[in-house]
Every structure is written in C-alpha cells, then in structure tokens.
Amino acid sequence: TSTGDTDTDYGSNDTSSGKPGFKSNKSARINYEFQDEKIEEEYKHPVVQVADSKLVLEKTDNTGATQLKGAKFDIYKVSTQGTAGAVKLPDTTDKWGIPFKSNLVVDKKIELTAPIGEYYIVEKEAPEGYSIIPEPIKVKVRRDTVAVVTGTSWTETEAADDSTETPMKLRIKDNPLYELPKAGGIGTYLFYLGGAFCMTAATMFYRRRRSEA
C-alpha cells in the first residue's frame, strides 16, 4: 500500500491525504504552454481505500439458540490456483484461498474486521460433544450484510443495524455427535429402519437356536 499525497481528498471527504491505501493513478501529467514556455506538471496521487466491515461470528448448536465454546476455525480469502499466497483448502480438490485468520478460537462469539469480499470458513475443531462441519462455508461479506454462498444448512445470518450500531452476524451451527445430519430428509428414518431390522433378525435367530437346543 501507499500513502495519499496532500490535498488529494475529494470535497469534504477525509479519505486520501496522508491515509494508507492503493494509488488510483500510477503516473499522470499535464502539459501546457504559457507565454511561449512549455510546462509539464505531475498530478498528485490520491489513494483508494478498501472498505472494512465488522462481522460477529457466533457458534451455536443446531437450533441456533445455545452458544457453544471451544470451536476453532481457519478463514481464507477466496482465490484461485496460481495466485500468490494461495493454498488449497484441506480435504478439497478445487478450492483455493489466501490465509486470513488461522486457528481462530470462537468461544460463543467473536467480532472480526474484514475487507469486503468472499471468504472460506473452515471448522478445524468442533465444541466438545458436537460434530465438525464437513465442508468449507463460503460467504460474501458486504458493507452491512453477509451472504452465504455454500453451507446454508449450517448457517444463519443477520444484517447490521446502524441505528443500534450492531454489526452483521454469521451464526454457524453444529449438530450433536449423536444426531445425524438432516440432509435429504429421510436419512434418519432409514437409519432407524435398518436398526430395527437388525434387532428383529437377531431376535429370530436367538429363538431358533433355543428351539433347536
């Protein structure tokens, strides 16, 4: 990043002069003649700042009502293979990101400041007694809202409220270890049906052995 030259603010905005950011022009000059003299002057360099957003990351059970302690996350800025600093996300084949936060411990909730953009959130450790989320959650952070691109079944969002100075929120939910994910709707029923069948078969086998004895 660079620092904006003096007197480069637009109007009453105080966002460029002496502020860190990215130069909006590499080189700009003006050429003119005055009293038969050719004059060249260089424009100053204003800077453009990348806006940051405040985001509350909250960890709860699958109802969203009970906050949990002890979750650990890695957060990556979404990128592509070959980009400087980009790494392949664990247990994926086609997802790449630039590390943004590593080993981030979330005890109930934590407030983050992040530039506007797209991110992958990877759960490394789940709270005790809960199952780890099996896939990266992809989110798009905007000025006052966060949108979930992938991983909607594990998340809930709330927009920022400027009137109460409440930042936007991303709630990440875990299932208890004993509860199967409710993907597809019939997974748990097939599980119970299979268990009942096994118990019935075992009972019939036991009775047959007794009758033969």
Give the mean model confidence (pLDDT) for residues 56-74: 96
Could you give the CA distance from residue 25 to residue 15 in angstroms, rounded to a whole number? Answer: 16
Q: Where are the domains of the chain?
A: 2-48, 52-174, 181-213
The overall pTM is greater than 0.75: no
Could you give the CA distance from residue 78 to residue 10 in angstroms, rounded to a whole number? Answer: 32
For residue range 89-115, list pLDDT tens digits in order.
999 889 999 999 999 999 999 999 998
For residue range 20-37, list pLDDT tens digits in order.
666 777 776 778 888 888
Of the options 2.60.40.10, 3.20.20.330, 2.40.170.20, 3.60.20.10, the CATH number for the domain spanning 52-174: 2.60.40.10
Out of 28-37, 64-73, 114-123, which region has the weakest mean confidence (pLDDT)?
A: 28-37
For residue range 125-176, list pLDDT tens digits in order.
999 999 999 999 999 999 899 999 999 999 999 999 989 999 999 999 999 9
pLDDT band at 187 (very low <50, low <70, confident <90, very high): very low
Closest by CA to 109, choosing from 162, 170, 38, 59, is: 59
Does residue 119 have a pLDDT over 50? yes
CA separation (Å) from 184 to 138, 181, 202? Answer: 21, 9, 29
- H-helix segments, 45-165: none
Closest by CA to 104, choosing from 50, 66, 59, is: 59
Could you give the CA distance from residue 25 to residue 46 in angstroms, rounded to a whole number? Answer: 8
Quote the DSSP letter at residue 190.
H
Quote the DSSP letter at residue 4.
B
Does residue 185 have a pLDDT over 50? no
Other Cβ atoms within 10 Å of 112 Cβ, number: 19
